[in-house]
């Protein structure tokens, strides 16, 4: 059964927020959007320009992860902010946001899984053959998100959700469709990389594989990236699992869906901060900022000398 977009948008225009909660969420999203765009944009610039000024043996997945966070801040967080201010999202922007939401989730967890595998196997990204494999794996995680993001758009399962502050998948007729879709999405795009991350971390912690990454290498921040991702995406996972347990197809509580979106966006701004905990990367970042400041205020140039007679 097709969903009447105009009717649903009119019904949902009121929203679940009070007069205090709505401006508070707008402020939080504004901060997350600005920090996400500026932070990840600066990180991408440093990785591109100052690549030789800091050590990083797992180059490709880090670039994929930062690009995913940057795109999420530009498209998804800004879309949620505009939706709060305007009272909703309209087609076709609604479907675009829903599609890319899945893409950025899978690309992020896929990139972190590749970093963990590289670190566990002690493989760098310098070899041409390995670089091609890593590039294909990163591209595969992005394409996997596109596939699972486009299915709800094709079947017209997408409409705006005030609680999530963006367009999401709603199930109104078939529990079996919802069950098949969520189980396929989690079992193919979420659980495998999550299992890889947890396995590599547990085996390394148990001493089955020595951690050969030096503290000066950017890859030493991998445990912090893993913890940040798991914490920030726990509300999203819990929300989906609650939905699976409801045969009447009612969504999870409003506060949980709102928390899931806010925490997922928080991960985008935490990653640049985690990068800066590495000394080599922090020094390269400060060098970029210092050089840009010097270029704005050029040093005085000696043009002539006058002799003063006494």
Element (H, E) at 167: strand 166-169
Q: Cα–Cα distance between 290 and 57 in angstroms, integer?
A: 26
Fold (CATH) for 18-292: Rhopdopsin 7-helix transmembrane proteins (1.20.1070)
- Cα dist from 304 to 47, 301, 309, whole Å: 41, 9, 16
Is the distance from CB of 13 to CB of 242 less than 8 angstroms? no
Longest dimension (CA), the chain: 99
pLDDT at 240: 85
Question: Per-residue confidence of the chain (310 residues) as pLDDT tens digits?
Answer: 444 443 343 333 446 677 778 889 999 999 999 999 999 999 898 888 776 666 677 788 889 999 999 999 999 999 999 988 888 888 888 888 888 988 999 999 999 999 888 888 776 656 677 778 888 999 999 999 999 999 988 888 888 888 888 888 877 677 888 888 888 988 998 899 999 999 988 887 777 766 556 667 777 888 899 999 999 999 998 988 888 887 777 878 889 999 999 999 999 999 999 998 888 888 888 887 777 655 554 555 545 555 656 5
- Bridge partner residues of 166 (DSSP): 161
DSSP-assigned states of every residue in 207-224: TSS-----TTSGGGGHHH
How many Å separate Cα 246 from the centre of its chain? 28
pLDDT at 295: 53
- Phi then psi for residue 31, to 5 deg, are -65, -45
Domain ranges of the chain: 18-292
**pTM of the predicted model, to two decimals?**
0.82
- Give Cβ neighbours of residue 232 (< 8 Å, ≥ 6 apart): 263, 264, 266, 267, 270
Burial 299-309 (b: 16+ CB within 10 A, else e): eeeeeeeeeee
In the numeric block, which tokens belong to residue 10?
Answer: 């009119």
């Amino acid at each position: 059964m097709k969903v009447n977009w105009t009717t649903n948008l009119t019904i949902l225009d009121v929203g679940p927020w009070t007069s205090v909660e709505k401006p508070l969420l707008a402020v939080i999203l504004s901060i997350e959007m600005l920090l996400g765009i500026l932070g990840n944009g600066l990180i991408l610039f440093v990785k591109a320009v100052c690549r030789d000024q800091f050590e990083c043996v797992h180059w490709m997945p880090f670039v994929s992860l930062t690009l995913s966070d940057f795109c999420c801040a530009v498209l998804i967080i800004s879309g949620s902010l505009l939706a709060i201010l305007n009272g909703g999202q309209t087609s076709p922007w609604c479907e675009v946001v829903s599609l890319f939401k899945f893409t950025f989730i899978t690309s992020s967890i896929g990139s972190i899984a590749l970093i963990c595998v590289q670190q566990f196997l002690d493989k760098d990204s310098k070899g041409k053959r390995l670089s091609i494999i890593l590039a294909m794996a990163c591209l595969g995680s992005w394409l996997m998100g596109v596939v699972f993001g486009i299915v709800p758009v094709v079947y017209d399962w997408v409409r705006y959700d005030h609680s999530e502050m963006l367009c999401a998948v709603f199930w109104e007729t078939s529990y079996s469709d919802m069950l098949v879709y969520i189980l396929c999405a989690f079992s193919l795009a979420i659980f495998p990389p999550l299992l890889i991350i947890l396995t590599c971390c547990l085996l390394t912690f148990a001493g089955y594989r020595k951690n050969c990454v030096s503290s000066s290498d950017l890859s030493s921040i991998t445990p912090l990236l893993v913890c940040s991702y798991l914490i920030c995406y726990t509300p999203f996972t819990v929300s989906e699992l609650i939905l699976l347990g409801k045969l009447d197809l009612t969504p999870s509580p409003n506060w949980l869906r709102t928390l899931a979106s806010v925490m997922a966006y928080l991960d985008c701004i935490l990653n640049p901060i985690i990068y800066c905990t590495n000394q080599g990367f922090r020094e390269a970042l400060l060098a970029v900022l210092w050089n840009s400041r010097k270029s704005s205020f050029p040093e005085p140039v000696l043009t002539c000398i006058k002799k003063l007679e006494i």
